[in-house]
Amino acid sequence: MSALVIENGRVIDPAQKIDAKLTVVIDDEGNIADLTSKRVRLPNADVVDARGAIVCPGFIDLHVHLRDPGHEYKEDIDSGTKAAARGGFTLVCCMPNTEPVNDNAAVTDYIVKRAAAVGSVTVLPIGAISKGQKGEQLADIGEMAAAGAIAISDDGRWVQNSSLMRRAFEYAKGFRLPIITHAEDLSLRGRGVMNEGSVSSELGLEGMSPAAEEIAIARDIQLAELTGGHLHVAHVSTAKAVELIRHAKRKGIRVTTEVTPHHFTLTDEVVRGYDPNTKMNPPLRTEVDRRAMIAGLRDGTIDCIATDHAPHAIVDKEVGFDQAAFGIVGLETALSLGLKLVEERQLTLKELIALLTIKPANVFQLKGKGSLKKGTDADITIFDPKKAVTITAKDFLSKSRNTPFEGWKLKGCVTSTIVKGSIVYP
């Protein structure tokens, strides 16, 4: 590997409170060697001209579905990490709802090795809480941790059994693993397919009550307090849920959370028209909830942005709204949607970058990630925040096209993504 010099860019690194025109120097081992205001000329170095662009730490996504192993027709580690790189993400954490479920070290090991072999970006696996995500018996938590799992979650299925969840908190604590909860009381959700509200009543679609999410979060907060474990609430989506988390944080309970770009951008009004690409779980909520997501990002209640990238093939979606799979792809649209908040003056550019870099790194205590500190891995994203883009699903590097943002005219385009000193995109 040759050394790399990134010059003429505006370097923003919220972790080090840097916002200046600097040159980034990366050594031939892929580490950050220097940030300097001087011109740098190295004999054998490659040079990236970042004039007019922002140079920042690589984005980190704590919540993606790579569908590998088992559902490679939707996505695999190769295509999913290419999509991540195109979106500016240099590190993604992948959920365990694969086939087989990542509930044992063999699957964890497969993901780690496969990602090392074909992955464009760093992949950190999340193991299951329970065997088969069935909510009955603990998965091989310690062995998965030893194989590289950085958190555990039964994402997609809330652990209904409170006793099992308590034991999971207690046991995982010993391995320093956070527990990610997909907060949803399934008995209350019932057959719901969209947010329960005036729109669901009008459309004749079964509603998913916000209370199903709030009840689940309230219980999990109680268990985090009881056990002292670290609770990470995946994709928070209701105003009351944000309030529950805000309250818990004030009490000093170890709880963190994330929000998806679609939950801070869209509301259930877009479900009119019955486009299955507006169906996700948690569902799009109301304008009050959407505003609460932005308020939560601003006051720090919500720790970071995560995409919940959930690729599905046409055959999973073109079956009518009720039967369509939940979820949308998110890696390749996240930056532009975040920049929309900046344009609307809801967030500053620095805050947005922090929410995509150091803040998610801190949630899972990913050492040496999320900043441009000297000596750390040179994971860097370079993007042009002003460039006009039209979201076009057929250009996605993901295998799947399930986006509700098709045709949206936004701003912001990743020009280079660098992982450990190597340019992985374009």
**Long-range Cβ contact pairs of 341-344 (< 8 A, separation 24 or more):** 341/264, 341/294, 341/297, 342/385, 343/411
Distance in Å, CB of 240 to other proteins, minimum: 16
Residue 114 or 279 having the CB closest to other proteins: 279
Query: Which 325-364 positions form the footprint of other proteins (CB under 8 A)?
Result: none
Radius of gyration of the chain (CA): 21
Residue 34 or 206 having the CB closest to other proteins: 206
User: Of 174-182, 320-328, 353-361, 400-408, which segment contacts other proteins by CB under 8 A?
Assistant: 320-328
Give me the phi and psi of 90, to 5 degrees please.
-110, -10
Instruction: Given the residues 103, 303, 308, 377, select the one marked as catalytic.
Output: 308
**CA separation for the pair 320, 327 (Å, rounded):** 14
Angle ∠(327,332,333) on CA atoms, nearest 5:
75
User: Of 98-106, 236-244, 262-270, 318-326, which segment contacts other proteins by CB under 8 A?
Assistant: 318-326
Residue 205 or 389 having the CB closest to other proteins: 205
HSE value, Cβ hemisphere, 13 Å, CA-based, for 97? 17
Cis omega before residue 276 (within 30°)?
Answer: no
Query: Which 267-296 positions form the footprint of other proteins (CB under 8 A)?
Result: 273-274
Token output for 312: 């599905």
Q: Which of 83, 57, 55, 79 is nearest to 68 (CA)?
A: 79
Strands 422-425 and 4-13: unpaired
Residue 201 neighbours by CB distance under 10 Å:
10
Residue 99 or 322 having the CB closest to other proteins: 322
User: Of 44-52, 108-116, 202-210, 259-267, which segment contacts other proteins by CB under 8 A?
Assistant: 202-210
Distance in Å, CB of 408 to other proteins, minimum: 19
Among 29, 299, 318, 395, which residue interacts with other proteins (rule: CB under 8 A)? 318
Residue 200 or 267 having the CB closest to other proteins: 200
Establish if 187 lies at the interface with other proteins (CB under 8 A): no
User: Of 122-130, 134-142, 200-208, 381-389, which segment contacts other proteins by CB under 8 A?
Assistant: 200-208
**CA separation for the pair 55, 32 (Å, rounded):** 13
Burial class (CB in 10 A: 0-12, 13-18, 19+), 229: buried
- Residue count at the site for other proteins (CB under 8 A)? 21
Residue 36 or 187 having the CB closest to other proteins: 187
Catalytic residue list contains 76: no
Non-local CB neighbours of 4 within 8 Å, separated by 6+ positions: 25, 26, 45, 46, 47, 48, 378, 418, 421, 423
Establish if 36 lies at the interface with other proteins (CB under 8 A): no
User: Of 85-93, 197-205, 325-333, 413-421, which segment contacts other proteins by CB under 8 A?
Assistant: 197-205
Among 80, 125, 197, 261, which residue interacts with other proteins (rule: CB under 8 A)? 197
Q: Is residue 73 a contact partner of residue 319, using CB atoms and an 8 Å limit?
A: no
Among 206, 225, 243, 269, which residue interacts with other proteins (rule: CB under 8 A)? 206
**CA separation for the pair 41, 45 (Å, rounded):** 8
Among 49, 299, 322, 395, which residue interacts with other proteins (rule: CB under 8 A)? 322
- Which residues contact other proteins by CB under 8 A? 190, 196-198, 200-207, 273-274, 315, 318-323
Show which residues are catalytic.
308
